[in-house]
Structure 1
Amino acid sequence: MALVFGSINVDEFFSVPHIVRPGETLASTKITKKAGGKGANQAVALAKASAVVSLAGQIGEDGEWIRTLLHSFNVDTSLLKTNNSLPSGRATIQISSEGENSIVLFGGTNMLSYSDALPLSKYQFLLLQEEIVHSETTSTLIDAHSQGLKTLYNPSPMPNATQLRNFPWSSLSYLIINAGEAADLLKAFGEDPTSLSSAELLDKLMSNPSTGSLEGLIITLGENGLIARIKIEGIQTNYELPTIKVNAIDSTGAGDTFAGYFTACRMKMQTVDTSTMELALRNAMGAAALAVTKSGAMEAIPEVNEVRDFLAHNDINCIL
């Protein structure tokens, strides 16, 4: 079983002729409300990948409909608390007729202390992001590692340099980041990432005293695939894998889809070797590639049957 501890948001999209100017009142032509937040998105990705998953986090009374939605995706919400002291986390997004956007974020219940002890002993895997109280992310990671869980972390939005330097990297199994985040992390460690290739960023981070203890570092490269270094039976294996080319419409949900599907693949692996790890990475990339062919985030995450068919069409075995 997997536990996701993270954010849950209410996303409100306002269609407008143009982004509102200071002092201006503007009529919206359409409003759409959707569920979001990296924690919720990644939990749904795990569930759609046929994994057994629980989501821990907090919503306000205004977010109870999200609980119902998560249930419909087979996400266990017994650890999803309703806190009446604040509204749910929220993103208010203006989208102009030309496709430009402006976003106002409100942390809401995501930024309140969870306070209750999580039943970590029930789980084998823990997936974390940011968008909640950072100290609770790190303390949960340390506790999970001490109880033998495999831990995965997708640090988005990226913590500040001090938080990155003080992060309990030795408690982390897998780090999933993009190239920009890899450069930010290396910079936080006091090194200059300017002009470094993705492969050089990978080398630098895996030789750093802080992140060198990782079991796996995965750097996603968007349409250019990924590079990764995974320790398997004490031996480091490098992966440089292209993605499957698709007609991309919206990349919003790609990162959360990848994180959720990779975690599900890692859960499914009976034997961890170089070939099964490559399949796990390719499967997660395939799911992310499908996600960018649709608009949105949670609603763009593909079902596992879609992923199986897509991978088979591209001569890739599916381990889910």
Structure 2
Amino acid sequence: MAVYVIGSMNIDMFFDVDHFVRPKETLMPVHSEVLPGGKGLNQACACARAGAKTRMAGKAGSDGQLLTDTLKAAGVDTSFVDIQSGGLSGRAIIQRDPDAENCILLVPGTNHDFKKADFERILRFVDKDDIVLIQNEISNLKDLAACLQEKDCFVVFNPAPVTKDIPDDLSFVSCLVANEVEIEQLLKTTGDPQTLCAQWQNRYPGSSIVLTLSSKGSLYMDGKRTLFMPAYRVEAKDTTGAGDTYTGYYCAMLDQGRSIEDALQYASAASALAVTRSGAASSIPDLEDVKHMIGENEKISPVAL
């Protein structure tokens, strides 16, 4: 069993600011740094640090040494990473304010060089017991969806960012992991978390959903049950990689045969630890740290609704 992450790899440029820059304003950051990131890379690193056998399928330019080094250091198999000579890796320009909120500009770079042939080549290696984890920061997602429709495997989709490139038919998705904004955009409606999850279930009864609720926790629903996972209380420093950490840990637990309850608990604890640290990939905790967090907060666990 393994987790195949087909997704983006970015060079993240962080700028700590007193406030987000406004129209016509030139702002000097308090601090700046360059770190590895991209939703695909972040989630792959989280999967590997959680103990799953993880393979990253991504594209980077000749400037991508930082990205491949980061993946290898986390224990990710990079044999499916395509280094394009002369190309430029994706970039994320991230402002962080004193409240640990962020706003992000994405420059896709080589992330938008994916073609259907790339997906077909990668998926030939995927077995039915494997998990394929995808997001929406690479090109030709509809071609990837078409390939996955024909593949017998467990597909986890993190629909970020929500754009017109997302296919109308998401029946190929085994599990959706989204936040409140993303699910409202996908369903083109608003509502409370349980109602939104139920609407997803009604539309795709064969798919489960994990809805992350920021500091309020997370919600799981499938055709048989609904679970609520309370959030761990921490002082947030940087929320940039929290969602990716959650998604990666959740997939890793499933890949290792753990229960849904365990997957929710480990994902929640890991993302809580991530927001206490700076960066995206660099903030992802190791498994032992997550186990320690859970052990110190034994009363925080999933509740059936």
C-alpha change, 1:43 and 1:102, in structure 2 (3 Å) is closer
Confirm whether residue 201 of structure 1 aligns to residue 196 of structure 2.
Answer: yes
* Deviates most, 60-69 or 1-10: 60-69
Confirm whether residue 159 of structure 1 aligns to residue 152 of structure 2.
Answer: no
Instruction: Give the secondary-structure state (helix, strand or coil) at the position aligned to 1:269.
Output: coil
Shift of 1:269: 1.2
Shift of 1:14: 4.4
Instruction: Give the secondary-structure state (helix, strand or coil) at the position aligned to 2:233.
Output: coil
C-alpha change, 1:204 and 1:295, in structure 2 (3 Å) is same
Confirm whether residue 125 of structure 1 aligns to residue 131 of structure 2.
Answer: yes
Greater relative contact order: 1 or 2 (C-alpha under 8 angstroms, separation 6 or more)?
2
Aligned partner (choices 199, 217, 231) of residue 209 of structure 2: 217
2:206 alignment partner AA = S
Instruction: Give the secondary-structure state (helix, strand or coil) at the position aligned to 2:133.
Output: strand
Partner in structure 1 of residue 246 of structure 2: 258
Q: Gaps (5+ residues) in structure 2?
A: none
1:212 alignment partner AA = P
Instruction: Give the secondary-structure state (helix, strand or coil) at the position aligned to 1:171.
Output: coil
CA distance in 2, matches of 1:243, 1:4: 26
* Deviates most, 110-119 or 58-67: 110-119
Shift of 1:249: 2.1
CA distance in 1, matches of 2:18, 2:230: 39
C-alpha change, 1:149 and 1:277, in structure 2 (3 Å) is same
CA distance in 1, matches of 2:50, 2:86: 34
The CA deviation string for residues 56-111 of structure 1, in whole angstroms up to 9 with x for no partner, is: 11111011222122111111111111113531111234567998876543111111
Shift of 1:248: 2.1
Confirm whether residue 7 of structure 1 aligns to residue 8 of structure 2.
Answer: yes
Shift of 1:212: 3.1
CA distance in 2, matches of 1:316, 1:40: 32
2:242 alignment partner AA = A
- Equivalenced residue count is 294
Instruction: Give the secondary-structure state (helix, strand or coil) at the position aligned to 2:219.
Output: strand
The CA deviation string for residues 246-302 of structure 1, in whole angstroms up to 9 with x for no partner, is: 2222221111011100100111116xxxxx212221221111111112222111111
The CA deviation string for residues 200-225 of structure 1, in whole angstroms up to 9 with x for no partner, is: 111222112xx3331x1111111111
Partner in structure 2 of residue 245 of structure 1: 233
Confirm whether residue 289 of structure 1 aligns to residue 290 of structure 2.
Answer: no
Aligned 1:1-320 pairs, distance under 5 A: 1-14=2-15, 19=21, 22=24, 30-93=31-94, 103-114=104-115, 115-116=117-118, 117-123=120-126, 124-133=130-139, 135=140, 137-160=141-164, 163-164=165-166, 166-187=167-188, 192-193=189-190, 196-208=191-203, 211-214=204-207, 216-231=208-223, 236-269=224-257, 276-315=259-298
C-alpha change, 1:97 and 1:51, in structure 2 (3 Å) is closer
Identity of aligned residues (%): 32
Shift of 1:141: 3.8
1:201 alignment partner AA = L
CA distance in 2, matches of 1:128, 1:22: 37
- Is the Cα contact below 8 Å between 1:141 and 1:151 reproduced in 2? no
* Deviates most, 178-187 or 100-109: 100-109
Rg larger in structure:
1
